[in-house]
Amino acid sequence: MDANTVLLAVVIVTALSFDFTNGFHDTANAMATSIATGALRPKVAVALSAVLNFAGAFLSLKVAATIATGIVDTGAITLTVVFAGLVGGLAWNLLTWYFGIPSSSSHALIGGVVGATLIAAGASAVKGAAVVSKVLVPAVLAPLAAILVATAGTYLVYALTKNVPEGTRGRGFRFGQIGSASLVSLAHGTNDAQKTMGIITLAMIANGTIGKDQGTPFWVIAACAIAISLGTYLGGWRVIRTLGKGLTEIETPQGFAAESSSAAVIFASSHFGFPLSTTHVCTGSVIGSGLGKRLAEVRWSVAARMVAAWLITLPAAAAVGAVAWAGANGIGGATGVSIVFVIGLLLAGALYMASRRKPVHAGNVNDEWTGRPAKVKESVA
């Protein structure tokens, strides 16, 4: 095995790891409300979402070229830049997971790639206007659009079913909520697994392993589908807790309205080519479902923390991406990339160990909200 093959292998493993964290970070988007309302038992919810993500990954007929196209100069993209970008995205995904903040995996990845490109090829290789129009503006609009749709939906749902007996109402919306959450999972698999497939394909083309016009090899599609669904099944319980319990207390009709809104906004934006982040949409929907029900409380301090995290996603991931590129490039070649990979692995392991001190899991994900993703002191057996 020569150095190039090693380099490509490390990039592919990193891309699949990113796909995995994308899965567990985003389980919350589809399933947090169903778990919070008790429509599905936690383990069943993540299993269902995992299966649908897997199916969704295979449904994508055309693999999106690459996530970074149009944002950085294609000429500036080398394997090392792709690798460093992935490391930046991974780092941000893990950190926000630890703090239980739903944040966009795509933005983290874009941030990582932008940071690596900035230091590798200079500011001229980054298309500033594209960053604003494709990343920053949608980041503001996505939650607002979802809030609007979910508020309207929640209001209508409550107004229309005012006189429906509790039994029919509860059962009906429980069913509807599971259905709409399933659509969100499917859409997630389709849209997000594609991004990783695109990156791996790009890396293989850059390395000359496959020709420019060749499609994505089947094993890449399968590997991405498996990685994202395994991640989803593992469940990012910390994020699920924040989204399901932290923002507002959700009842079944609200959960139904929120998921319908998320599914509609995601489908529409993907069809009309307006790049909205699934995470931002789902968070907006949950807030909207709180606003649409009279007297429901939205914890704006939790929402504000999320928005703050979204704002620093790009620069933070970019910083990690830049450092990762500098490290890998400074040492040089496959050795450099491998060393950075191992360092990243150790840091991720440390973060995982830290999370074990106050774990959030299927058993305590629905505990009463105490202001933090994990319960602070009161240790419940």
Partner 1 sequence: MNDYIDLDALWRVMVASLVAGAGLAAVFSLALVGLSSGRPAGKVGAAACFLVVAAGIVLGLYVMLAK
Query: Alpha-carbon distance 88 to 84, whole Å?
Result: 6
Give me the least distance between CB of 160 and partner 1, in Å please: 4
Longest CA span, the chain: 71
* Residues with Cβ within 8 Å of residue 379, at least 6 apart in sequence: none
Q: Which is nearer to partner 1, 4 or 161 (CB)?
A: 161
Q: Which is nearer to partner 1, 82 or 157 (CB)?
A: 157
Q: Which is nearer to partner 1, 131 or 240 (CB)?
A: 131
Query: Alpha-carbon distance 162 to 146, whole Å?
Result: 24
Q: Which is nearer to partner 1, 212 or 271 (CB)?
A: 271
Q: Which is nearer to partner 1, 119 or 281 (CB)?
A: 281
Q: Which is nearer to partner 1, 116 or 281 (CB)?
A: 281
Give me the least distance between CB of 105 and partner 1, in Å please: 19
**Nearest C-alpha neighbor of 72 from the set 270, 325, 344:** 325
Exposed, middle or buried: residue 210 (CB in 10 Å: 0-12, 13-18, 19+)?
Answer: middle
Query: Alpha-carbon distance 108 to 59, whole Å?
Result: 24
Query: Alpha-carbon distance 107 to 325, whole Å?
Result: 18
The residue with tokens 């229309």 is 160
Give me the least distance between CB of 356 and partner 1, in Å please: 39
Q: Which is nearer to partner 1, 134 or 358 (CB)?
A: 134
**Nearest C-alpha neighbor of 278 from the set 291, 259, 302, 251:** 259
Give me the least distance between CB of 273 and partner 1, in Å please: 6
Give me the least distance between CB of 294 and partner 1, in Å please: 16
What is the Cα 297 distance to its own chain's centre?
26
Query: Alpha-carbon distance 263 to 248, whole Å?
Result: 20
Give me the least distance between CB of 317 and partner 1, in Å please: 21
Give me the least distance between CB of 58 and partner 1, in Å please: 11
Which residues here bind partner 1, judged by CB under 8 A? 59-62, 129, 132-133, 137, 141, 145, 148-150, 152-153, 156-157, 160-161, 163-165, 168-169, 172-173, 176, 179, 183, 186-187, 190, 256-257, 260-265, 267-274, 276
